[in-house]
């Protein structure tokens, strides 16, 4: 049976209801643009994410309507980085950040989007996207077919088949898994810690509801060597860092089972692909140790919204919109992404990590400079 067609032509359709997609939808809707958003899952939901946001994004989220001041969120101003040897580097975070779970944040953003009139379709998987002519794109989904003047992809790290991504993943690129827990533990609310282990690292910081997010990234080879047994890998690899052994053995784990994602890569991507604007991790994923992926998604949505609005008002052409968006996105984020990949390359080997952390401890200005390279200014 052929899926039904919605005959309306929406000015903008957004594929993926994560941070970038929801924030873009809200900004456009507040300007009177009719937006439809497709989300393959439902709200609220937990996601594999470090759940730390740089303070550069506080005013932006507040302006969108997220009641940050009312949620009792921890303000984070101190950083600790440990090597597997047990050495700990401590540093202040000049700009700082705050913790909030994706379960809470995404749900607030979804409610705000609906309040502004965004059509949010949950449990709706996009199957194909076809440009039918110069002004209309047809979107086939699991519940029907829709048409839009512009299509934006905010589908995360994994490009769906219809995106026809030119990304060439080779065996030379490290393949990672990401694992997340919520825990109750003993850690200062104003502190975020990054603990290194062989071929990976783990971040811990407080979020809302008096919980802590423990999220780690590991090369998939660690899991294979542990017989694809996650618990065995944690005990044989992560526990070699004494700080991680303490957190894993002396904390209360609140999920029935961990959240896990696989096939995670960090490589340059495109901001525009096959007629779609890309934002968030779909346009480029920063290494998690930088703690700035969420702010990049938020800021990227603002850049996209400003250019889309100009196009819809016939102030710039489609080609100009594509070019300006790509240029502005790279100006804001290309350096951060490159720096993140370089820093991640210094971690993973215990001896190299120990040397790097000890050297950084001797030169506090170096630590502050590196942090600055992966963060932006309030927007």
* DSSP string computed for 270-314: -SEETTEEE-GGGT-PPPGGG--HHHHHHHHHHHHHHHHHHHHTT
Same domain, 158 and 36: yes
Nearest to 275 by CA among 167, 139, 170: 139
What is the average pLDDT across 348-363? Answer: 91
Same domain, 210 and 333: no
In this structure, is residue 332 part of a structural domain? yes
Whole-number Cα distances in Å, 347 to 13, 51, 296, 338: 39, 21, 22, 15
Same domain, 35 and 176: no
What is the rounded average pLDDT for all residues in the chain?
A: 92
Same domain, 191 and 246: yes
Q: How far apart are CA 266 and CA 278, in angstroms?
A: 16
Same domain, 122 and 256: no
Same domain, 92 and 72: yes
pLDDT in tens, 176-219: 999 999 999 999 999 999 999 999 999 999 999 999 999 999 99
Query: Of the ranges 12-26, 256-270, 284-298, 323-337, which is most confident?
Result: 12-26
pLDDT band at residue 284 using 50, 70 and 90 as cut-offs: confident
Task: Give me the half-sphere count of Cα atoms (radius 13 Å) on the Cβ side of residue 367.
Answer: 19
Same domain, 247 and 115: no
Least confident piece of the model among 156-165, 194-203, 253-262, 279-288: 156-165
What the block records as the tokens of 145 is 């077919």
Same domain, 246 and 336: no
Nearest to 47 by CA among 227, 200, 195, 207: 207
Q: State residue 265's pLDDT score.
A: 76
Residue range(s) defining the domain that contains residue 232: 52-98+172-266+348-373
* Rounded percentage of the chain residues whose pLDDT exceeds 90: 74
Q: State residue 191's pLDDT score.
A: 98
pLDDT in tens, 103-154: 999 999 999 999 999 999 999 999 999 987 767 899 999 999 999 999 999 9
Beta-strand ranges (E) seen in 170-324 are 176-184, 191-197, 200-206, 212-219, 252-253, 259-264, 272-273, 276-278
Same domain, 218 and 329: no
Q: State residue 172's pLDDT score.
A: 58
Q: How far apart are CA 307 and CA 12, in angstroms?
A: 12
pLDDT of 1 higher than 60: no
Same domain, 47 and 118: yes
pLDDT of 2 higher than 60: no
Q: State residue 164's pLDDT score.
A: 66
In this structure, is residue 16 part of a structural domain? yes
Q: State residue 134's pLDDT score.
A: 67
This prediction's pTM: 0.93
pLDDT of 169 higher than 70: no
Same domain, 228 and 256: yes
What is the average pLDDT across 58-63? Answer: 98
In this structure, is residue 179 part of a structural domain? yes
* CATH code of the domain containing 230: 3.30.9.100
| Total domains in the fold of the chain | 2
* CATH code of the domain containing 15: 3.50.50.60
Same domain, 314 and 201: no
* DSSP string computed for 56-119: GGHHHHHHHT--GGGTTPPEEEEEEEE-TTS-EEEEEEEEEEEE--HHHHHHHHHHHHHHTT-E
**Bridge pairing between strands 75-82 and 88-99:** antiparallel
């Amino acid at each position: 049976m052929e899926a039904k067609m919605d005959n309306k032509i929406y000015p903008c359709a957004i594929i993926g209801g994560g941070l970038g997609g929801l924030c873009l939808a809200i900004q456009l809707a507040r300007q009177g643009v009719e937006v439809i958003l497709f989300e393959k899952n439902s709200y609220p939901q937990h996601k594999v994410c470090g759940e730390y946001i740089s303070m550069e994004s506080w005013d932006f989220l507040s302006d969108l309507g997220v009641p940050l001041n009312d949620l009792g969120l921890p303000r984070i101003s101190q950083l600790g980085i440990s090597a597997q040897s047990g050495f700990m580097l401590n540093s202040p975070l000049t700009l700082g950040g705050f913790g909030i779970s994706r379960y809470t944040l995404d749900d607030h953003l979804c409610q705000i989007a609906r309040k502004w009139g965004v059509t949010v379709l949950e449990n709706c998987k996009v199957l194909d996207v076809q440009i039918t002519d110069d002004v209309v794109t047809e979107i086939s989904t699991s519940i029907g077919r829709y048409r839009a003047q512009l299509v934006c992809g905010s589908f995360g790290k994994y490009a769906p088949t219809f995106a026809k991504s030119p990304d060439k993943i080779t065996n030379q690129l490290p393949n990672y898994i990401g694992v997340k827990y919520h825990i109750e533990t003993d850690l200062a609310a104003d502190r975020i810690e990054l603990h290194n282990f062989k071929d990976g690292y783990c971040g811990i910081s407080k979020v809302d509801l008096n919980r802590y997010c423990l999220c780690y990234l590991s090369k998939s080879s660690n899991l294979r060597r542990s017989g694809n047994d996650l618990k065995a890998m944690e005990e044989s690899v992560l526990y070699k860092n004494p700080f991680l052994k303490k957190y894993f053995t002396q904390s209360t784990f609140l999920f029935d089972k961990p959240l896990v994602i696989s096939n995670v890569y960090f490589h340059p991507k495109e901001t525009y692909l096959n007629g779609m604007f890309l934002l968030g991790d779909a346009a480029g994923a920063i290494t998690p140790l930088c703690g700035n992926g969420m702010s990049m998604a938020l800021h990227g949505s603002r850049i996209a919204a400003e250019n889309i609005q100009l196009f819809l008002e016939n102030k710039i052409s489609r080609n100009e919109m594509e070019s300006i968006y790509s240029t502005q996105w790279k100006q804001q984020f290309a350096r951060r992404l490159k720096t993140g990949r370089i820093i991640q390359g210094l971690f993973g080997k215990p001896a190299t990590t120990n040397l790097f952390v000890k050297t950084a401890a001797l030169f506090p200005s170096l630590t502050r400079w590196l942090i600055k390279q992966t963060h932006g200014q309030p927007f």
